[in-house]
Structure 1
């Protein structure tokens, strides 16, 4: 059944005549008449009663009208939906760790919007392993994860985030101009942020040779919770530098030199399936070079 024939039928009823329907549809009157006749043949009934120049809808026409209107409405709605989908920007799905979401994405997305003005972006957070799996399964287009190598993924280093000891501004370590020892740190109440990274295990190792274990009063897997607890004086702790850069600038937290932690850092990489979303992948790499030059 041709939707144009149904359209002609509905327009004739709506406009009140074949001539007015033809004008509304930008057709000739014979074309509208031909469409109605074809529809009547398909339905095997008369839709209109013709009396000279007068045309009235038949009983069969009245019964068919609500179905014709519904079909025409459904067709036009579907057509509008498809046209809208064609005009909508591409959606890029970016998977990332909580850390990348908190401290990098807010700068990354505006940069990508400049490079891809017609695109929309969806941020999906998870662990590095889960984001890698989503990337492999094409559930995300690229991933921002901890240092990770996978034979089926391409990977590029975005930034390296040093792990340092931070104390609140009134803590005695802040006032001590000399080097702080691991033994002194171990005696202090510690707010211990545990991110699960292999690099983070090196923080544990600096306390391995002590006679007494470190005084870990609070453990959390959330860097934001650890950061706020340290600011409020609940203890001191080791944190990625990016997570506290604003607090350090405002004097709320103070980094303390501890030689044993030199070189310990968390690395974040961008990953993608080889050959896919190459422009997006390259744009993220380019962004990281500019971003690290000013912020890392």
Structure 2
């Protein structure tokens, strides 16, 4: 087995076809077939199920795919470290939910620009489950997500405990005014959002199981809709204080159980981190 065999294996898995994998790896189909057969003989298992239409990974194949990702990551890191010995340089891909993007990203970007100018930071926001999946699959180097996170492959650093509040239009004198209107309207991100889940849990605790959800894909859009009196939402108090203190909004406190959200930084612990990622993690260990 060599790394080229693994690249062919990955190509077959990605394309679901020996023919397409051969085209993608600039070889012939007979070589692809031979290399996959060699891998299967070496591991003593079938890596693919074969039908007339396509090939698909077996359970053993899926396990090998995870090791392929680790091996590729390690090889890339080795090449990079050897080429740039002693330097903190490169790219970090960091994931976070949108509110963390607003609170943390500017501070981190400024810090790295001043202290590590040769590190390119790329931030992207997504739902919690997507962020965890992309860290596990090496698409992100690290991500800020809400706790708890129980995947054994991931290490985590406590970042902060945030207080969540119910946010309504400034015209709302009491939150009971909103709850007494039927149906209750909530302004939220799509399914999978931690804030949406907390808001729905809060409504359920109030005995409200029927409500109308208005789904938006941006924090600013949610704020605009809530300010216009179209519904309520739930957000970190710090976001409201830092960015929307001058808006026509009012915040109502939540109990400790629903109102406290712990944010952690997750990254893979089963592969050595790059120098840039180590610096990024150490910075938050100090702050945490």
User: Normalising by the residue count of structure 1, what TM-score does the alignment of the two structures yield?
Assistant: 0.54
3-state SS of paired residue (1:104): helix
Q: Deviations over 1:111-156 (max 9, x none)?
A: 2223323322222333333333332333332222232232011111
Give how far 1:222 is off.
4.2
Q: 1:149 to 1:213 in 2, by over 3 A?
A: closer
Range with bigger deviation, 236-245 or 213-222: 213-222
2:232 corresponding residue in structure 1: 236
Q: CA shift at 1:168, angstroms?
A: 2.0
Q: Which residue of 2 aligns with 1:150?
A: 151
Partner residue, 1:101: 101
Instruction: Report the secondary structure of 2:121's partner residue.
Output: strand
Question: Helix, strand or coil: the match of 1:207?
Answer: helix
TM-score (ref. length: structure 2): 0.55
Q: Gapped runs of 5+ residues in structure 2?
A: 1-82
Classify 1:124/1:252 alpha carbon distance in 2 versus 1 (closer, same or farther; 3 Å): same
Aligned residues: 195
Equivalence map 1:275-290=2 (5 Å): 275-276=272-273, 277-286=277-286, 288-289=287-288
1:109 Cα offset (Å): 1.2
Whole-angstrom CA distance in 2 between matches of 1:280 and 1:212: 43
Give the structure 2 partner of residue 24 of structure 1: none
1:264 aligns with 2:259: yes
Is 1:216 paired with 2:209? Answer: no
2-structure distance, mates of 1:140, 1:280: 13
Work out whether 1:252 is the aligned partner of 2:248. Answer: yes
Tell which structure's C-alpha radius of gyration is larger. 1
Give yes or no for contact 1:186–1:215 (8 Å, CA) kept in 2. no
2:179 corresponds to which residue?
186
Change (3 A) 1:228 1:246: farther
Alignment of 1:124-135 (within 5 A): 124-135=124-135
Unaligned runs of 5+ in 1: 1-84, 174-179, 290-296
Instruction: Kindly indicate whether the alpha-carbon contact (under 8 Å) linking 1:149 and 1:155 is maintained by their aligned counterparts in 2.
Output: no
1:273 and 2:274 are equivalent in the alignment: no
CA distance in 1, matches of 2:247, 2:233: 16
Identify the residue that residue 227 of structure 1 maps to in structure 2: 223
- Contact 1:95 1:126 (C-alpha < 8 Å) held by counterparts: no
1:167 and 1:265 map into 2 onto residues whose CA distance is 19
Q: Does the CA contact (< 8 Å) of 2:97 and 2:144 recur in 1?
A: no
